Amino acid sequence: MRQARLVSIDALALERLCAEFDQRLRVPSWNGQYHFHDGTRRTANYILLLDALNFSFWGEPRWTIEFGGERLGGYWALAAALKRAIDEGFDLTDAATLPHLEEPQLAHILRGEHTIPLLNERARHAREVGQVLARKYDGQFANLIEEAGYDAVDVVQLVLQDFLSFRDECTYRDRLVKFYKRAQILAADLFGAFNGQTWGALRNLDALTCFADYKLPQILRRFGVLQYAESLATTIDNGLEIPAGSDAEVEIRAATVQAVERLRACLSARGENVRSVQIDWALWDAAQAAPADGKPYHRTRTIYY
């Protein structure tokens, strides 16, 4: 961010958001309404698969599904579609079934209104999940968690080591930048799904950053915290795509992480100890509820968020 030319953080707006945090944002609990959850190791496998496929939902017409009498889109639709498949007898929690999952099968599992973007990449990620779990962890993601000693950072590191599709890295001015959005959200989802117990009893959650995606910068911009250069603002507001790994995209994501860390420090100075993970959840929740006529999110087609 010291080198950024297209994105900046407005310190006064950030202080205002910090002062009004409880009025403008709320930290939600983990919502299991649309997830598969049986409290066993199968749930850990489900969470791994969910976050292996958790990326790039934007586009028109938007992919949605019907579930429990509701029309769902984005992450909730993905979670519910995987749960629906398990309920229908396609056991996606069994690592042995995943290495053979081809695009047509996944298309049926994710059937709904229109087609989810990057279906082929999602099928490839699902196969990787099954292959790695079978080869290294006796088919159980819980074994990786145990090998990591229930440390959130070590869980992230092992996931990055073994599952190539989670390696969310890019180069910015000859420097390697590591965001690891899906690997970190995986650790947070384990904690949430198991309510901090059994395979969710992870320590070191404070070491995780926020999960740099396209919804957090959208709401931070709405709050005035993120400021864009005129050229970038025009690109985003006109719905034009920003290439993955471009300076603009990296700066947006870096500013998002930095803004959340500075917001956490501000809240801590006020005696409110809130994790970056919790701030992320609060901002994401606010972004979901933001008026449709507000500033749009940036559009980058990528497997990482």
Question: CA 139, 142, 148, 153 torsion: positive or negative?
Answer: positive
Rounded CA separation 83/182 (Å)? 19
With vertex at residue 6, the alpha carbon angle to CA 3 and CA 10, rounded to the nearest 5 degrees, is 85
Tell me which residues are annotated as active site.
213
Cα dist from 248 to 6, 7, 40, 106, 214, whole Å: 6, 8, 42, 33, 13
Q: How far is CA 65 from the centre of its chain?
A: 19
Let me know how long the chain is.
Answer: 305
The angle formed by the CA atoms of residues 236, 241 and 243, to the nearest 5 degrees, is 115
Q: How many CB atoms are closer than 10 A to CB 89?
A: 6
CB 294 within 8 A of CB 222: yes
